[in-house]
Structure 1
Amino acid sequence: MIEPSPPWPGARPLDDHFFDRDAQQVARELLGKVIRHRQGDLWLSARIIETEAYYAAEKGSHASLGYTFKRRALFLPGGHIYMYYARGGDSLNFSAEGPGNAVLIKSGHPWQDAVSGPQSLALMQRNNPDATGAPRPLARLCAGQTLLCRALGLKVPSWDAERFNWQRLFVEDCGIRPERIIQTTRLGIPAGRDEHLPYRFVDAEYAACCTRNPLRRGQVENRDYRILEACA
């Protein structure tokens, strides 16, 4: 099989083997990785700071409702893209090892480098203005699964059940490893649907920029969350 060409010299896209592993492992190790999406001539980029793991065998997952054509990506090998509408916005997930298992990309933080510079950031802000039409602060631009997709220009019809395309959309290892990872319960899981499972992972450095800060006032370590060792 011919390997796909990297989008630029030195790029380090994650391959399918990265995703074809246990969903919690993938969710933890995606923290610090960078989503790259090409929109026109610009690469829009966000560092992943919050993820959630889902398994077919637990009630919080879409896969627990059974196979449908719309949910087919969840049952495909690791590295397939599963997108759906959440509260009217687009939501990005990647399939993991085992039918029905996946990782939700819950939040990101704008990423700038030689590939994604000020013009890319400006387009992300135009994609996702606040309610008044003004640019969102960087800390809130991708602070939620639908805000992330809006800022990056990711749409369900374009990417659901697709594979990564290194010329258009992929996740890159830019050599970042979070120093501390917070493990806690997922958000928005209805009562009685395994809401107690600690399958949410947050880069502690960016806890204040994620969907809901797990270190907010009133939260107690080893009761509401725990700190994991840094990724190797």
Structure 2
Amino acid sequence: METEKALPSTQVILLSEDFFARDAQSLACALLGKIIRHRTEGLWLAARIIETESYYKNEKGSHASLGFTHNRRALFMPPGTIYMYYARGGDSLNFSAQGEGNAVLIKSAYPVLDEISGEASLQRMQQLNPDKQGRIRAAEKLCAGQTLLCKSLGLKVPDWNAKRLNERLHLEQAPPPKQIIQTRRLGIPIGRDEDLPYRFVDAAYARHCTKNPLRLGQLEGRDYWLLTEKEGSWATF
């Protein structure tokens, strides 16, 4: 196993805490393309964020709408606070946004291989997240879902809920998507604002996210909308 090492400061630009102080939909778009990197057992495990969902306290699909609890306290803390919870038998990763109770769920990502996170890191991610038969999971499938993402990166609720990004877990600047797909969130129960279009996908990675919004039968303008960056910001929000 390779030895633990610090990130080369000349090559990596970390996101500041101020980055998260924006509207939840704006943050959901801004997080696409960013690299999440977690140091564990001497290795940096890394993935590019390709799918996010935004949530607001005043809509029924959000955890914050259910009220304050100790487990949900991160949603009521300053922007950039990590909120983790258990869902579908695994861990899920969120970040608080501007406005009490508002947050963004990191829905899926794509493994990163570079000089910091090399083959040994990818192999460790595959060890952490085998398929249901115990076999090695294909790289493009490792983070294709919110719980798969956390399992592959070794992120656990007890370790990170209500914490801040630090020297062991951080987000890095990276080229933004050229086009974003906006669509409805997944897994929202009927009657809990299931039709709100608060899910955002990096169009270049659509087939690798939780559920491809461009799959057969989906129509632009009805099932999804395409957003294009204008002058360095996603001006829709």
Scaled by the length of structure 2, the TM-score of the pair is 0.93
CA contact (8 A) 2:7 2:116 kept: no
The Cα of 1:7 is off from its aligned counterpart by 4.0
| Paired residue type of 1:22 | D
Cα distance in 2 for residues equivalent to 1:188 and 1:132: 25
Comparing 131-140 and 50-59, the one that deviates more: 131-140
| Alpha-carbon separation, structure 1, partners of 2:229 and 2:50 | 14
Which amino acid letter does the alignment assign opposite residue 112 of structure 1? Answer: L
Residue by residue, what CA displacement relative to the aligned partner does 1:18-75 show, whole Å, maximum 9, x if unpaired?
A: 1111010000011000000001111000000000000000000000001111100000
Gap runs ≥5 in structure 2? 1-5, 233-237
* Residue matched to 1:3: none
Residue of structure 2 equivalent to 1:45:
46
Q: How many angstroms does 1:8 deviate by?
A: 3.0
Counterpart-to-counterpart distance in 1, 2:123 and 2:229: 32
Which residue is equivalent to 1:157?
158
The equivalent residue for 1:93 is: 94
Counterpart residue identity of residue 170, structure 2: F
* Alpha-carbon distance between aligned partners in 2 of 1:53 and 1:132, rounded to the nearest angstrom: 33
Q: Is 1:32–2:40 an aligned residue pair?
A: no
Q: Is the Cα contact below 8 Å between 2:25 and 2:54 reproduced in 1?
A: yes
Q: Does 1:137 align with 2:134?
A: no
Match for residue 80 of structure 1? 81
Report the AA paired with residue 206 of structure 2: A
The alignment status of 1:172 with 2:172, answered yes or no, reads yes
1:65-100 CA-to-partner distances (Å, cap 9, x unmatched) read 011111000001101000000011000000000100
Q: Is the 8 A contact 1:177 1:230 kept in 2?
A: no
Report the equivalent of 1:199: 198
Query: Residues of 2 paired with 1:9 and 1:80: CA distance?
Result: 23
Equivalence for 1:188: 187
**Residue 102 (str. 1) matches residue 72 (str. 2):** no
- The equivalent of 2:3 in structure 1 is none
Contact 2:34 2:171 (C-alpha < 8 Å) held by counterparts: yes
2:58 and 2:65 in contact (8 A); partners too: yes
Q: Does 1:128 align with 2:129?
A: yes
1:230 CA drift (Å): 2.7
> Which consecutive segments of 4 or more residues in structure 1 shift more than 4 A?
none
- For these two proteins, the number of residue pairs brought into alignment is 225
2:215 matched to which residue of 1?
216
State how far apart, in whole Å, the 2-side matches of 1:179 and 1:107 are: 18
Structure 1 distance, partners of 2:148, 2:88, is: 11
RMSD value over aligned CA atoms?
1.0
Q: Distance in 2 between matches of 1:215 and 1:229?
A: 16
In 1, distance between residues paired with 2:176 and 2:15? 15
**Structure 2: distance between partners of 1:13 and 1:130:** 32
Q: Distance in 2 between matches of 1:7 and 1:141?
A: 23
* 5+ residue gaps, structure 1: 1-5
Percent same amino acid at aligned positions? Answer: 63
